[in-house]
Amino acid sequence: MLRLLIRKEILSHVLSFRFAVTFVIFLVLIFTSIYVTVNGYEQEIAEHGARVRAYQEHLKGIITQDDHDRIGWRLFWDDGKLDAVPVSALSWLGHGMQSINPIAINTYRWGAKEVDRGLTRNPLLGLLQVPDFIYVVNVVLSLLAVLFMFDAVCGEKEAGTLRLTLSNPVPRHLVLLGKWIGGYLVLMIPFLIATIGGLVYAWSQGVLAANSEQLTRIGLLLLTSCLYIAVFFNLSLFVSAATDRSATSLLVCLFLWVTFIIAVPNMAPVTAQILRETPSLHLIESNKEAVDREYQLKIDQLTQTTGELAYGKKIEQERERLEKERDARKRQWDRYFEDRKHDQFSLAKTLARTSPSGCWIFAAVALTDTGPAAHERLVAARNRLEQTYKEKCDKLEEHRRQNDWKFPEMTVEEFPALMVQNASAAQSLMDALNDMLILIILNVVCFMAAFMRFLRYDVR
């Protein structure tokens, strides 16, 4: 019986004009999206390689010149060392937070700063969103799921076919299950065909490596996309079973789609910014400057309070103690600012997860290693590079003092480099697991709601 009901639903969808349009949309949109992002990824990889070579030549030009004073000035204060920020291997499936990452880290003896793309970046990329795979699934596929199922129950009631079906000895739960399985298969098969075609193109271009790591990530990404589409599928099925007219069902479904896709995810950061206000960076810097002035005054007063010369051993020890205390106070302000930003970000993620769209995006960027966790690893790598480069500069300066203010022979390889740790597929799965579980729960809740409503549905 269930097989006949599934076959009936599949035939009714396949023979409709809606299926033909959906199939064409899938083939054109998904393949075009992957084609565009793959070519953009190849360009980013080429630019990254060019930057790496240029930065190495630049550093080599600094350390091989004859003027040792000029070497120290350029190496420690003026030019510093440049390191290109790597590109995620699966960023062609979803840019995630890659667009806000710098293209390079410029490290000096006193610290590090980020190098942005600046005017070299296409200004339209900040105005128009790139339709990558994650975006297409988030917006287009969720809308198609709504359009497929908004009239699954009420549409048949208006046509009179539902009454004829239930006039036979057919259990209602089998009718509903047949509608779900048949409609879902008809929607997902074109999606998977188009996606596999796009992945084959990416593999032919050498962008997709056929190893267990990337194939596992892509498999989990496709599984999550199926769960996400099923949420709107079940939600539309529930709305259809809760209304008597297909026009009313369509209006309610579109309202829910706009709420969950556009309103909630975009309002979450703004709401979090209001509820968890963070101090401005200018205020933090002002407080750090006040700490500098306070301790500089204490250092200037050392000779007056101790009665010794400004270059005495006791004065040097006290100066070092005050400088360490000053740096600790400034780090406290930095930690305070980072903690407030982290609280605001956590609240924004929690609010965004009230929408299936937020869960899908967070899970997808975790699986493609382009999300918040990847950004945090980049920040950690930047901090490690800043510390190790300072230690390297201190050793070189100490060598100069002991060798007539001359630097030793140096090579590019002996300088610390930016080392960003990539997450394994298992770690990415753990990062995405909570969002995947939320999608599973939403599927169960929506389907059970549709099931309970359909059992009491008046087919007359």
Is 377 a domain residue? yes
For the segment 124-152, the average pLDDT, to the nearest whole number, is 83
**pLDDT over 80 (residue 279):** yes
Q: Which two tokens stand for residue 89?
A: 């291997």
Q: For residue 56, what are the contacts with CB-CB under 8 A and spacing of at least 6? A: 412
Token pair 């203010």: residue: 405
Residue 216 placed within a domain: yes
Neighbours of 173 (CB within 10 A): 12
**Whole-angstrom distance, CA of residue 257 vs CA of residue 36:** 27
Checking if the pLDDT of 436 tops 70, the result is yes
Three-class SS state of 129: coil
- Look up the domain containing 333 and give its range: 2-455
User: Own/partner pairs for 251-254, CB < 8 Å, 24+ apart?
Assistant: 253/146, 253/150, 254/146
CA distance 243 to 249: 6
Confidence grade of residue 155 (pLDDT, cut at 50, 70, 90): confident
Asked whether the beta carbons of 269 and 357 are under 8 A apart, the reply is no
Q: pLDDT value at position 298?
A: 79
What is the SS3 string spanning 328-393? Answer: HHHHHHHHHHHHHHHHHHHHHHHHHCCCHHHHHHHHHHHHCCCCHHHHHHHHHHHHHHHHHHHHHH
* Amino acid in position 234: N
pLDDT at 127 over 80: no
For residue 460, tell me if it sits in a domain. no
Residue 411 lies in a domain: yes
Number of domains in the chain: 1
Q: Which of 9-23, 30-44, 439-453 has the lowest mean pLDDT?
A: 9-23
Banded pLDDT at 437 (limits 50, 70, 90) = very high
Pairing relationship of beta strands 104-107 and 81-84 according to DSSP bridges: antiparallel
Q: Which helix (H) or strand (E) holds 133?
A: helix 133-136
Report the percent of the chain where pLDDT is more than 70: 92
pLDDT over 60 at 305, yes or no = no
Q: Are 302 and 315 in contact (CB under 8 A)?
A: yes
> In terms of Cα–Cα distance, which of 53, 52, 57 is closest to 103?
52
pLDDT reported for residue 152 = 84
DSSP bridge pairs for 115: 104
The helix (H) or strand (E) run that includes residue 400 is helix 372-402
Span 402-418, pLDDT tens digits:
777 676 777 777 777 88
pLDDT at 402: 74
Helix (H, G, I), strand (E, B) or coil at 120: helix
Confidence bin at 356 (pLDDT 50/70/90): very high
For the stretch 17-26, contacts whose Cβ atoms lie closer than 8 Å and that sit 24 or more positions apart, written own/partner, are: 18/147, 18/148, 19/186, 22/144, 22/148, 22/187, 22/190, 23/190, 25/140, 25/144, 26/190, 26/191, 26/193, 26/194
CA 396 to chain centre: 39
Write b or e for each residue in 35-60: b if 16 or more Cβ atoms lie within 10 A of its Cβ, otherwise e: eebbebbeebbeebeebbeebbeebe
Side-chain half-sphere of 405: how many Cα atoms within 13 Å? 7
Instruction: Report CA-CA distances (Å) from 341 to 269, 346, 374, 380.
Output: 12, 9, 17, 16
pLDDT interval class at 159 (50, 70, 90): confident
pLDDT of residue 311: 55
Measured CA to CA, the distance from residue 383 to residue 377 in angstroms comes to 10
Model-level pTM? Answer: 0.84
| pLDDT one-digit tens code per residue, 39-90 | 888 988 898 888 888 888 887 877 777 666 666 667 777 777 788 888 888 8
315-354 per-position pLDDT tens digit: 777 777 887 888 888 888 888 888 888 888 889 889 999 9
DSSP 60-71: HHHHTSS-HHHH
What is the SS3 assignment for 158? helix
Asked if residue 8 belongs to a domain, the reply is yes
Nearest to 373 by CA among 331, 430, 418: 430
Find the range with the poorest average confidence among 69-78, 152-161, 262-271, 411-420.
69-78
Pair of tokens at residue 230: 């099923």
- Asked if residue 92 lies in contact with residue 205, where contact means CB atoms within 8 angstroms, the answer is no
* pLDDT 10s digits, 192-205: 999 999 999 999 98
pLDDT band at 444 (very low <50, low <70, confident <90, very high): very high
Sign (positive or negative) of CA dihedral 121, 122, 124, 130: negative
Report the C-alpha gap between 320 and 225 in whole angstroms: 57
With 70 as the cut, is the pLDDT of residue 303 above it? no
Model pLDDT for residues 359-381, shown as the tens digit of each residue: 999 999 999 988 888 888 888 88
Compute, in degrees rounded to 10, the torsion defined by CA atoms 394, 399, 400, 401. 90
**Residue 139 CA to its chain's centroid (Å):** 16
Q: Is the pLDDT of residue 445 over 60?
A: yes
On whether residue 140 sits in a domain, the answer given is yes
Q: pLDDT averaged over the chain? A: 84
